[in-house]
């Protein structure tokens, strides 16, 4: 008989173990959820833009006429 595989995940704020069935998933509590939201709001977390290699630039074909 196959065993059901459980994934042990941790709260991103306090690193406490969290189950997927928990109401605050992926956080362990509403407090940790609000701490994380505050970090996003204050600029503590940022999503960087993709790094572009200037040596492999795509030629601009805007001057082409059909």
Q: Per-domain residue ranges for the chain? A: 9-45
Where is pLDDT greater, at 21 or 56? Answer: 21
Please report the pLDDT score of residue 34 as a whole number.
95
The per-residue DSSP string of 1-66 comes to: -PPPP---EE-TTT--EE-TTSTTTTSSSHHHHHHHHHHHHTTSS--PPPP--GGGPPPP-TT---
Per-residue model confidence as pLDDT tens digits over 2-48: 666 667 799 999 999 998 888 889 999 999 999 999 998 998 888 88
Where is pLDDT greater, at 34 or 62? Answer: 34
pTM for the whole thing? 0.58
Residue 66 has pLDDT above 80, yes or no: no
């Amino acid at each position: 008989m196959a065993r059901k595989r459980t994934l042990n995940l941790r709260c991103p704020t306090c690193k406490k173990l969290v189950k997927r069935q928990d109401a605050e998933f992926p956080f362990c509590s509403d407090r940790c959820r609000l701490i994380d939201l505050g970090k996003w709001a204050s600029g503590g977390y940022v999503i960087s833009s993709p790094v572009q290699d200037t040596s492999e630039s795509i030629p601009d074909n805007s001057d082409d006429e059909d």
